[in-house]
Structure 1
């Protein structure tokens, strides 16, 4: 993995990542390992082989904890296991999400609840679980993955778009509540990152061209672009940044 910067203060930090065994999440796990951090991650699908590969490559195997993040008790138990293995958690990265496409008329109550239970609810409860340990250690960082899709007002997956807007609001509220304990809470807002899933499921040639036309920078985003921004928010390099939404999208949406 190519890394554009080394954040020395992340060495030996205890990092917990949701969805850390595939796509952007797998790149995040590897990115933190390159910094010398101790990583634990949850993933619903089997990521044992990935964890072994990372251990062989970096000499420090990430702790893979099988978990469905819609089961909050299981998610909290996984965080307790991570803390027992590595010490109290320093950094939480709420990455896991599902951007399943759907229309308004086809979506029922159960579908809606399932989407929110994946895309928004876990962010609240990981913060709730990690905050006491962070407070004990004198601070920490929580990074909530939002999406530029809500700023663009994208159609075709409104439950996902709504949850990603909710993440920004939650981030600001938690930053205010946890700031006195030196716990920073920021949202990272990726644009369209061309993971294998995106390429396999959604990325038609026509859509790719149309999206690139909207970007200021005429190059599609890849996982590494999101990794470096996440490392920055986790590091004390950004120590006075909290309650912010950092957009990494090649220049499609604007903030401020």
Structure 2
């Protein structure tokens, strides 16, 4: 069925505890909003305290359930500690969306060993350890869904950020491994690979008339992708409607690939 905004309602999401990393802005903000509007109890993490507090207040003022905690996701011990606290407060996390990332531009020659390690920490490592932290309670509660946010950049072989592309390719491999590892516990693991999504950051830093014209020649669908377009797929993957989908990589890029 659909709501008044012609968006699909997923009854199985209501009342479930969802966790979104990098949820204070961009695609993450759209994910937090969409899950809360479906009736989820949404915990979300971000390094941006002001934006996270503002979003949580707005949603709670609307009668929805959202809890923000400032977390530096590169600090794995802290990440897992806060996840444990959120489980103690709202119960098992049944939907984990590993979203946080940073597509900082760099070249092969610019990259140092320390910078590479930081790139992996920001874009890949926390996916693994968030899954590790939520899986036991998720399994005990009867299963759930882990959704790893990647990017079509590695499938396109884009230049300009080779470390980022490496991490995003690794996410798809992680998904395959975890799907096998956790499937017996009724935990589904999938990857969502967005194309060029027009967040405020992307529009501010990278979108030019020339870049938009080139993008429209490459996409089969001649419209810019919005964060909400990605959120729609994540809702489906979080809900029981996708109960037999696992280990898959699903692309939202307007037919660019």
* TM-score of the pair, normalised by structure 1: 0.96
Name the structure 1 match of 2:44: 41
Aligned length: 252
Equivalent residues in 2 for 1:218-229, closer than 5 Å? 218-229=222-233
Counterpart Cα distance in 1 of 2:254 and 2:106: 26
More deviation, 102-111/63-72: 102-111
Q: 120, 131, 135: which is aligned to 2:135?
A: 131
Q: Is the 8 Å Cα contact of residues 42 and 78 (structure 1) preserved in structure 2?
A: no
Name the structure 2 match of 1:9: 12
Runs of 4+ in 1 over 6 A off after TM superposition: none
Name the structure 1 match of 2:238: 234
Matched, 1:103 2:107: yes
Q: 192, 201, 204: which is aligned to 1:197?
A: 201
Shift, 1:2, TM fit? 4.9
Name the structure 1 match of 2:79: 75
Matched, 1:50 2:62: no
Counterpart Cα distance in 2 of 1:89 and 1:78: 12
Counterpart Cα distance in 1 of 2:108 and 2:252: 28
**Cα pair distance change 1:185/1:29, threshold 3 Å:** same
Shift, 1:3, TM fit? 5.8
Shift, 1:219, TM fit? 0.2
Q: Is the 8 Å Cα contact of residues 22 and 99 (structure 2) preserved in structure 1?
A: yes
Q: Is the 8 Å Cα contact of residues 3 and 228 (structure 1) preserved in structure 2?
A: no
Gaps of 5+ in 2: none
Q: 144, 147, 152: which is aligned to 1:148?
A: 152
Name the structure 2 match of 1:27: 30
Counterpart Cα distance in 2 of 1:61 and 1:15: 10
Q: 243, 246, 252: which is aligned to 2:247?
A: 243
More deviation, 154-163/200-209: 200-209
More deviation, 30-39/46-55: 46-55
Q: Is the 8 Å Cα contact of residues 194 and 220 (structure 1) preserved in structure 2?
A: yes
1:95-126 per-position Cα deviation (integer Å, ceiling 9, x unaligned): 00000001111111111111100100011001
Counterpart Cα distance in 1 of 2:104 and 2:212: 18
What is the SS of the residue equivalent to 1:42?
A: strand
Q: Is the 8 Å Cα contact of residues 44 and 67 (structure 2) preserved in structure 1?
A: yes
**Cα pair distance change 1:2/1:195, threshold 3 Å:** farther
Shift, 1:60, TM fit? 2.5
Shift, 1:244, TM fit? 0.2
